Each structure stands twice: as structure tokens, then as C-alpha cells.
Amino acid sequence: MSDQQKGLQGPAPDERPHPEGRRNSQGIRIDPEVESEPERRRTVFSAIVEDEPGVLSRIAGLAARRQFNIESLTVGPTTVDGHSRITMVVEEPDPGIDQIEKQIAKLKPVISIGELDDDAVRTELVLLKVGGEEPDKVHAITEMYDGKTLDAGPETITVQLTGDERKIDDAVDAFRRFGIIEIARTGQTALAHGAKKTVPGEEPGTSGEPTKPTTNTQ
């Protein structure tokens, strides 16, 4: 019998190895383990923006369109008249974090944006409404976490707590024994540690005396 009559040599089709994974747009097969999603990390951005109507909704809308995962977003005035500071806590892989910064920086009302270092000073505020059946114990927990009682009655007690995220989480867990009826958290707000500017290029104004741009006369 000739070689042509014998056919191709080798294992039967069902005995041959079958590669796993799919092919990319170039037709190259991708190993599923190699293609696994990059690890996410949480970080904080601070942005200086002009006080324009809708600036907050524009940033939130951009995040929604790009499917960025923004955990919290706060806004408030700065020492420069007409400017506000927006603080965002995000959780994304590093490429997503880079895109957030680049895309937000392109928005017209955004003056400057930067990612905060790990040593930044961070805090948030939480209001907790719990059952009022054990007021002495609620008061003791409130004092333990340097909180403040804002409203107290026979049925409910509302307390205010401030601090970093870990302290707030621990306090919330401690209050669960009384039954948390309602909770409101602001999300983190933050400033850079020490004399370092929180946002690159930020103007160091003083409260009540906004910094004005200097004119180069040379």
C-alpha cells in the first residue's frame, strides 16, 4: 500500500490535544490565565474645578459612560474664590485609574487633578440613627469613638462620627448591637500630608483672600 493510501500518520482526532482559550482580533490564541483581569486598587483623586453649574454631574456622567467604579465623590469650596475641590475614591485596575485622571482632566471646568499619596490626611463623616432603648450604652460607644450626639429621644438616637475609614467602619460595627435604623456617610475627603500641594499646580490661597494670578511684566 502506498503512503497516499495509508493517509496521514499521527493520533486520531479525539486523541489530539485541544488548546484552551480564545483568539484575539489578530488571531492569536490567548491563555486564560494570562488574560485574567488586572488587580484592582483603591485610590483617592483630588480635583480643583471652576464653580460652574453641572460640573459635578458632568464628572459623574463621564464615570458612568466609561463604567468607572467611583465609590464616593464629595465637593466643597477652596481658599480660592470661584474654585471648588472634588474628592473621589475610585477602585479600578491601574490602566483604569490612569484613564480616569486623563479623561476628567479633559473636562473644561477642571483646572487640575491629581492622585493622592498613601500618607494623605483622609477623613469622612457619618450620621447614625440607632434604637434608643439603651441610651447609656449608646452614649458610651459614642464617647469611645469621639462622636457627638445630635438628637436623642425615647425611640431613636442620632450620633455623628468623624475619622478615617477604618475608625468609621469599627464604629458602625459597634453600633449594630443597638439596631442601625438609618445611616448616611459622606465618603472620604482628603488633603496631602504636610506642605505638599494636594493637586499639582494648585494655588495656595488663604481663606477670605483668594490668590490672584500674577502677570509677567517682563
**pLDDT tens-digit profile of 68-117?**
888 999 999 999 999 999 999 999 999 999 999 999 999 989 999 999 99
Which residues, listed in sequence order, are joined to residue 136 by a DSSP beta bridge? Answer: none
* Residue-level pLDDT at 200: 82
* Residue-level pLDDT at 145: 97
Which are the contacts of 187, defined by CB distance < 8 A and separation ≥ 6? Answer: 71, 72, 73, 74, 87, 89, 124
What's the predicted TM-score (pTM) here? 0.70
- Domains of the chain (ranges; CATH) run 41-115 (3.30.70.260), 121-190 (3.30.70.1150)
Q: Which amino acid is present at 190?
A: A
* Residue-level pLDDT at 124: 95
The answer to whether residues 85 and 205 touch, using CB atoms and an 8 Å cutoff, is no
The answer to whether residues 124 and 189 touch, using CB atoms and an 8 Å cutoff, is yes
CA distance 45 to 86: 8
SS3 annotation, the chain: CCHHHHCCCCCCHHHCCCCCCEECCCCCEECCCCCCCCCCEEEEEEEEEECCCCHHHHHHHHHHHHCCCEEEEEEEECCCCCEEEEEEEEEECHHHHHHHHHHHHCCCCEEEEEECCCCCEEEEEEEEEEECCCHHHHHHHHHHCCCEEEEECCCEEEEEEEECHHHHHHHHHHHHHHCEEEEEECCCEEECCCCCCCCCCCCCCECCECCCCCCCCC
103, 107, 74: which is closest to 88 by C-alpha? 74
CA distance 88 to 139: 32
The list of the chain residues with pLDDT below 50 reads: 34, 206-218
CA distance 122 to 195: 15
Which residues, listed in sequence order, are joined to residue 24 by a DSSP beta bridge? Answer: none
Count CB neighbours of 44 within 10 A: 22
